[in-house]
A = this chain, B = another copy of it.
Amino acid sequence: MFSKFLGLEPKRRNAILNAALREFASKGFDDASTNVIAKEAGISKPLMFHYINNKKDFFLFLYDYCLDILNREYFDQIDVREKDIFERLRQTCLLKIQVMQKYPWIFDFIKIAVLTDSDVIKDELKKRRKMVETSSFERFYGDIDTSYFRSELDIEKAKQLIFWAVSGYAGQIVDKLRSSDISELNFEKIRTEFDGYLNELRKTYYK
């Protein structure tokens, strides 16, 4: 059905893709404008409609397509054998940044797709809803090794607090990713800064 879109050269396909993800993610389905998407993708509206059929189908297609991308490039890449929470966080966060360099709005798009209550797409989404984690917390950090934790701690609370702390840092990075040009961001510097925070957390939570 979306073979025309899929058959495009990657550069244009990704231009349309990212323009759409951004518009949908930041405005929601109903308020998103196909005019804006076309303009930001750098093509005319009729040409875009030549590729995408209509707004609704396009959104639903994007949902499936993005879940595939995320499964391939994110979820499947996570090494579940790593049981150290800080190593796991390091891995998942860096991976996430990597994915977001290619698709800056993909996570927000999925989040909005899951949480939306737009009448037009609600039912369709309900049908095809594979098990997508809303919190991303239990799925990722349910099976870590807690034996390193300082004994006087409440493990569940500690895990939650660590997760929130790291999310705070990640949120800051994401803001930077979006405001500055992605290419000119110093990835190496981010990594060492991030490791600094992770070490600090390790010092406080581990024996």
Contacts and interface: CB of A to CB of B under 8 A. Distances in A.
Interface string A21-48: 0000001000100000000000000000
Contacts of A204: 150, 153, 158, 161, 204-205
A128 interface: no
Nearest to A167: B168
B197 A153 contact: no
A197 B161 CA distance: 8
Interface in A104-159: 150, 152-154, 157-158
Contact of A168 (B158, B164, B197): B164
Contacts of A27: 31
A201 B163 CA distance: 13
Given A31-B31, A158-B204, 19 more contacts: A27-B31, A150-B204, A152-B203, A153-B203, A154-B200, A157-B196, A157-B197, A160-B168, A160-B197, A161-B168, A161-B197, A161-B200, A161-B201, A161-B204, A162-B165, A163-B168, A164-B164, A167-B168, A204-B205
A169 interface: yes
Q: Which 6 A-B pairs have the closest CB atoms?
A: A164-B168, A165-B165, A157-B200, A161-B165, A204-B204, A164-B165
Nearest to A163: B168
Nearest to A168: B164
Chain A, interface size category, equals 20 to 34
Interface of A: 27, 31, 150, 152-154, 157-158, 160-169, 196-197, 200-201, 203-205
A23 to B, nearest CB: 12
A152 B152 CA distance: 19
7 contacts: A27-B31, A153-B200, A163-B168, A164-B165, A164-B169, A167-B168, A168-B168
A46 to B, nearest CB: 25
Contacts of A153: 200, 203-204
